[in-house]
């Protein structure tokens, strides 16, 4: 089986981390399945390379290919200021309706962490990606639009508002919330995970965030889920093997994931909460620059490195390719190519344990030796070859 995967190397360090990652993905598939399973890689243009080659940051041909695709992977993209896009990434997510941003957070053996038990963190965040304050409905303080909207709020709805305020709108729909929560619940059930937590600030924002919580519990009553889940506070406790559903207010969740990380496994969150908790948890395992991610629509799974283009490192062979490589591992897992995924995880553990790592990690790991992005990729390849 040959799987077509569209790829965008990206800007800044993107091409370097991609060049180090792709051979490892190919080698793991070859080692695990011989000629039985492999990738048919097809490059798409986006970002600075697209601008240089065809005068556009996001050519229509790229969007057209992605609209029909099932799998894609990308490095980071920079958005040059004043070129017509707020952000290429946000544009891609909205145009392709990539409504679920999924970030697994797990400690990578050997990486330095600011907490005492980073290995107790094993969670997957499902963040809604298209609604909430990220919808882009925002008006500048003092502008005509803001004044018009504020006047409407004051005169028609009786709201107490400062007429000089900047205003943003927070749309959150039942449909948008439910499709994200269904996806999180399916993931938890498929992987036999113990708990699904709805993260919200519904005590204050009763209709938007409170709606997210209520719609979450409604989803759990649907035929697909009801027999397999139970509300955490149910008495007497139900039979083992069912998925526990609970909800936690956003600020309390930040405390709880630090103090009792073992209580949480899958977290479903609206856009802004999900953004915050994803980065906080990634930092908790020491891996803000190492964390993998995927954005999904109902058709396309678009895997991506979660860091930016790191312009200061670009072209210096000093970037860490782990985030993009682990995004590729998620793709292998998504395809069910579990042997190849496991092989890369073991190779990464072995390279970390041997203590020759990229400069970002070497600076924090006592006794570790520093190596370049390309050489780090070669060390991984050697381990894949040895362990496969």
Q: Interface residues with ligand NAI (CB under 6 A)?
A: 13, 17, 76-79, 89, 289, 304, 307-313, 319-320, 323, 360
Please state the closest distance from residue 8 (CB atom) to ligand NAI, in A.
9
Least distance (Å) between residue 81 CB and ligand NAI:
9
Task: Verify whether residue 251 is a known catalytic residue.
Answer: yes
Which one is catalytic: 162, 164, 251, 298?
Answer: 251
Q: Confirm whether 164 is a catalytic residue.
A: no
Q: How far apart are CA 256 and CA 249, in angstroms?
A: 10
In the complex with ligand NAI, the residue whose CB is nearer, 11 or 209, is 11
Compare residues 77 and 199 and give the one whose CB is closer to ligand NAI.
77
| Smallest distance from ligand NAI to CB 13, Å | 6
DSSP H helices in the chain = 14-33, 48-54, 60-67, 88-95, 144-157, 174-190, 209-220, 250-259, 271-284, 322-335, 338-354, 359-362, 373-387
Tell me the pairing of strands 292-296 and 100-106.
Answer: antiparallel
**Least Å from the CB of residue 149 to ligand NAI:** 28
CA 33 distance to own-chain centroid: 28
Question: CA triplet 7, 8, 9: central angle to 5 degrees?
Answer: 110
d(CA 224, CA 13) in angstroms, rounded, equals 43
Whole-number Å distance between alpha carbons of 201 and 213:
9
Catalytic residue from among 132, 134, 247, 360 = 134
- Judge whether 134 counts as a catalytic residue: yes
- Do residues 95 and 152 make contact, with C-beta atoms less than 8 angstroms apart? no
- Catalytic pick from 11, 132, 247, 275? 275
Peptide bond into 362 cis (omega under 30): no
Least distance in angstroms from the C-beta of 76 to ligand NAI: 3
For this structure, is 99 an active site residue?
no
Contact 304, 330 (CB under 8 A): no
Q: Nearer Cβ to ligand NAI, position 91 or 208?
A: 91
Catalytic residue among 11, 201, 247, 360: 201
Select the residue whose beta carbon is closest to ligand NAI and give its number: 308
Mode of pairing for the β-strands spanning 229-231 and 243-249: parallel
Q: In terms of CB distance, is 85 or 217 closer to ligand NAI?
A: 85
Q: How far is the CB of 319 from ligand NAI (least distance, A)?
A: 4
Nearer to ligand NAI, 302 or 337 (CB): 302
Query: What sign has the CA pseudo-torsion 332, 334, 339, 345?
Result: positive
Closer Cβ to ligand NAI, 89 or 129, answer by number: 89
Residues acting as catalytic residues: 134, 201, 251, 275
């Amino acid at each position: 089986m040959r799987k077509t995967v569209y790829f965008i190397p990206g800007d800044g360090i993107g091409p370097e981390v991609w060049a180090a990652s792709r051979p490892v993905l190919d080698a793991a598939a070859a080692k695990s399945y011989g000629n039985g399973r492999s990738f048919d890689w097809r490059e798409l243009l986006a970002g600075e390379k697209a601008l240089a080659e065809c005068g556009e940051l996001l050519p229509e041909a790229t969007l057209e290919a992605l609209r029909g695709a099932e799998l894609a992977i990308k490095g980071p993209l920079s958005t040059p200021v004043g070129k017509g896009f707020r952000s290429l990434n946000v544009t891609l997510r909205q145009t392709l309706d990539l409504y679920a941003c999924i970030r697994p957070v797990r400690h990578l053996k050997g990486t330095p962490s600011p907490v005492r038990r980073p290995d107790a963190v094993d969670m997957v965040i499902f963040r809604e990606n298209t609604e909430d304050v990220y919808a882009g409905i925002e008006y500048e303080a003092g502008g005509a639009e803001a004044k018009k909207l504020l006047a409407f709020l004051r005169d028609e709805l009786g709201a107490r508002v400062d007429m000089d305020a900047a205003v943003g709108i927070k749309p959150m729909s039942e449909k948008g919330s439910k499709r994200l929560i269904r996806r999180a619940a399916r993931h938890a059930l498929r992987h036999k995970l113990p708990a699904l937590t709805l993260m919200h600030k519904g005590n204050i924002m009763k209709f938007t965030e409170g709606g997210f919580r209520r719609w979450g519990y409604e989803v759990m009553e649907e035929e697909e889920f009801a027999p397999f889940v139970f509300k955490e506070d149910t008495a007497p406790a139900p039979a083992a093997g069912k998925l526990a559903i609970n909800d936690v207010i956003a600020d309390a969740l930040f405390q709880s994931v630090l103090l009792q990380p073992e209580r949480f496994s899958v977290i479903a969150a609206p856009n802004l909460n999900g953004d915050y908790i994803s980065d906080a948890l990634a930092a908790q395992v020491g891996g803000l620059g190492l964390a993998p991610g995927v954005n999904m629509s109902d058709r396309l799974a678009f895997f991506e490195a979660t860091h930016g283009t790191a312009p200061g490192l670009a072209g210096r062979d000093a970037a860490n390719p782990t985030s993009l490589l682990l995004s590729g591992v998620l793709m292998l897992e998504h395809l069910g190519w579990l042997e190849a995924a496991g092989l890369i995880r073991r190779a990464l553990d072995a390279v970390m344990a041997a203590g020759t790592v990229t400069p970002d990690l070497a600076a924090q790991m006592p006794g570790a030796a520093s190596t370049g992005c390309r050489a780090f990729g070669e060390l991984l390849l050697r381990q894949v070859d040895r362990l496969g």
